[in-house]
A and B are shown apart, each in its own frame.
Chain A
Amino acid sequence: MDAFGCVRRCFAIGALAARNHLLGELRQEVLLGNEAIARGIVESGCHVVASYPGTPSSEILPAVVRFKKELGLATHVEWSINEKVAYEVALAASYTGKRGAVIMKQVGLNVAADPLMSSAYTGVKGGFVIICCDDPGPHSSQTEQDTRFFAMFAKVPALDPSSPREAKEMVKAAFELSEKHRMPVILRPAIRVSHARQNITFLPVQELERPADFEKDPGRWAATPPFRYILHKELNKKLASIEEEFEKSELNACDEGQDHTLGFIAGGTSYSVLTDTLRELGLDGRFPILKIGTPHPLPQKLVADFVAGCNQVLILEEPDAVIELQVLDKHKVLGRHNGVVPSAGELTPEVISQIVTAEMDKLGLELPPETDTRELATLVADLDLPVRRPRLCPGCMHRAAFFAMKRVLGSNAIYPSDIGCYTLGLNLKAVDTCLDMGGAVTIASGLYQAYHQDGKDVPIAATIGDSTFLHAGVPALANAVHNQARFILIILDNSITAMTGMQPTADSGILADGRQGQRVAIKDLVRACGVGFIEEMDPYRVRDFEALVKRAREYSRQPDGGIAVLIAKRPCVLYDPTPLQENPVRVAVTEECDGCQYCQLAFECPALVLNEALDRVVIDRRICVNCGVCIEACPKECIVEA
C-alpha cells in the first residue's frame, strides 16, 4: 500500500483533538458524526434537547439518550411533534437560564423558521443551539437549501464543522457563544459530517447547576412592535460584535502556502475534501487556504486581508455561495458567481479535483499522473446493469394499502402523498405528488377545490404516514373539513417513524428515552377534526381493505358525506416482525405462472424475482417474510399458499 507522507494541519480545534488523543487514557470510540455531536451536547451540560427526526440528523437524539443513560444524567430529551414545536420547547429552557438544543434537518428549519426569526430578536438567556444538518446532493431531501442562508436571514451566527471531531468541539463553542451574546447560534453540519465516522475522544461532562429561573421581562419575551424595533437594533449590535470576535476566533484558521498565485477559502466538508485532494495531487502546503468555520457573520477583515495577499481566490463551500456572497470585493474571486464552481449538487472529491485541476492547468502547473477511470464509465454503462431503485421492504404494509387503493380507484384518480418510506409508492404509481411534510392533505384539498369549481368530480386519495400526519397533517385536515373539501385520506399507520430509523410517534405513547408517556391517538385527532367517516383496518386484508376504499369513495360523493379517513394499521416489518413470525403465510408460485411480471410491476415486492431460465416468477426465500399478501397480486392466481 502507498504511504503518503502526511502532515496533519493543526488548526486550533484539530490540535485540541489531537492533544486529547495523545492523552491516551481518555476513552475513545468510533462515532458517527451525529453521535459525536450528541456527545458534544452532553459534554456541554445541556439540559433540554428536542428534535424531530429527518435524514441526515436523526441519529443525534438517540445518541444523546445513550449518553444520558450511561452517565445517569437528568437531561430532558424529546421527539417533538414537529420542528417548530421542538424549537420552542428547547428555547423555553433557555428562557429559564438552562441550556437548550434543538436538532433537525435543513428543511425542518423551514417549519421552525417562525420561532427562529423571532428568537433572534428576543435573544436567549441560557445557551441555545440549533443543530441543523444540510444535505448537499441531495441524498434524502426535497431541496439542497443552505442553512447558512437562514442564519443570514435571521441574523444569527452559524458555525460550520468540517469533521465529526470538530463538530463536537463546535457544539461547545456554540453554547458559549450563545450564552455570551444571548442569542441563538446555529451549528450547520453537512451530511458528510453527520454521516462520517471518526474516532472520538470522550471528555468529562460539564456540570451546570442551573435551577429554572424565568425572570419576567415583557419588553423582551413579549415584545410588541415598538420594542421589536429596539430589539432589532440590539441584534445588529450583537452581530457586529460577534463578527469582531470571529476575526480573531480559532474557529477560522489559515494554512500557509508559499505560492500566492492562488488562494483557497473553504468551509465545512469542502475544506476537508480540498485538503485531502490537494495532498493527493501533490500540492500539499503549496497554496494558502483560509478555513472558515464561522460563515456567518463572515469575518470581513480576515477575508479581505487574505484576498489581498493572493492573485486569485477560489471559494469552495456547499451547498450554496454563502461565504462568496458576503465577500465584498469579488474581482479576484473564483466561485459560483462566475461559473467556476457548479451551482447544484454535492462538491464531491471528484468535482473538487476537477475544479482544482482546471485551475492548475491555467496556472501551467503539471500534476502527477493519476489513475484514469474515464474509460471504465463507458465499459460499465455498456453492461446495462439493472437500476437499483429503493423499494418498500418485503412485507411492508404500505404496499398492501397502495395496491388495494389503486385496484379500486384506478389510474385516473389523483394520489397526493407525503414524506416517508411510503413515498416509494411512486414505483407503484400510487404517489402523484410529494411536496413537503403534510402536503398530502393540503394538496388533496386544493385539488378538490380546483376541480369542484369546474363542477368535476375526480377521485382523490391522499396517503400520509402516522408521524407525518401528526407533524403537519392535523391542521391541514381541520382546514379541509372546515372548507368542505372531499377526498379519501389514508393514514398509513405503521406505529413508528420508519424511514429515519424507527423513532416512536406520539400515537405509540413511547417517549424518546423508551419510557411510556401519554398516548395521543391519531383516531381521536381525526375525529376531533370533524371527520364523519373513520375506519381502521390492517391492509394485509387486501379484499376487505378494498371494500373499505369503495365505501370511502361513496361517502366522499354522497350529499351528506365529506372527507373519508382510513387508518391502515399494521406495524412496520422492520420495527416489529413478531406478528409475521407468529402467523406466517408461506407462498409459492405455481407452474402456471407465465412470467408476465404483472406482480413485479404493480406490487413490486423485492422477494418476487423473475427466474429467466424457468421464465416465471419465483420467491426469493432469503428476503421473503411470509406475509402472504402477494397472493392477491397475481391476476391469474398463480401465487398461492404453499
Chain B
Amino acid sequence: MNQSLALQVKNLHKEYPGVEVIKNISFDVKKNNIHAFLGPNGAGKSTTMRIISGLLPASSGEIFVNDKLIDTNPAYCHQNIGFLPENLPLYQDMSVEEYLVFVRNIHTIKTHDKTIDFETIIKRCGLDKVRNKLIRKLSKGYKQRVGIAQTLSYDADLIILDEPLVGLDPNAISEIRELILDLKERHTVLLSTHQLHEVDLLCDEITIINNGKILINAKKGELELEKYFKENVH
C-alpha cells in the first residue's frame, strides 16, 4: 500500500508473436504530479499506455491504479483513468458538447455520477466558443483540446495523454501546455513524448524508455536530459 502513488507498474512485460515490445519495466507515478514518459519512436510508450488503460492485455506483470490491481477491477479503471490515445478518438459528426456528454455518459453508467461540472471543463479547455460546432470543422489544435476535455469529462483521477503535443503549431502547443499544467491541481498526469524540451517545461518526474526497457527514473532537474539522451539512447 502506498497512498501517495497514483500508478504503479510492476515487471510489465509484453510480447507479440516473436517480438518483445516491453521488457519487464517497472515505474511509479506520484499523485498530483505530471510524469513524462519519454522515449524515441517505437520505444514502447503507446503500448504501455494502452495496457494501463485496459485496451491491450499484458503478457505478464502487474499494474495498480490507486492501489487497485487493474486486472481484477476493470470497472474501477474505466471510471478513474482518462485516456487520450495517440490518434484522437473523435466522432466527427457530433458537436463538441454532444461528444463530451456522450463520453461522460458511457463512463458513468455504473456510478450514475452526473454531477461533473461541465462548464468548468469547457472553459478550462478553452472550448466555450466552439461548443456547438461540429468536431470535423475544428482545427487540429481545437480537436486536441476536445481530446483532452474528453479525458476530464468524468472526473478521472489519472489522466493518460499519448503524445498530446504532436503535430500542433507553436501557439497551440503553448496553450495545450498551459492546460496540462493546470490539470495538476486535481489530477495526476502521465504523458508520453519524444520532445526533450517539453519535458523541462511541463513535468515533475521523468521516466525514460528505450527499446522496451526503462533507462532511468528521475526528478526534474536531477538529470541533464540532452546529454543523457545523446549518450544512452540510440
Q: A and B: real partners?
A: no
Chain B interface residues toward A at CB < 8 A = none
Chain A interface residues toward B at CB < 8 A = none
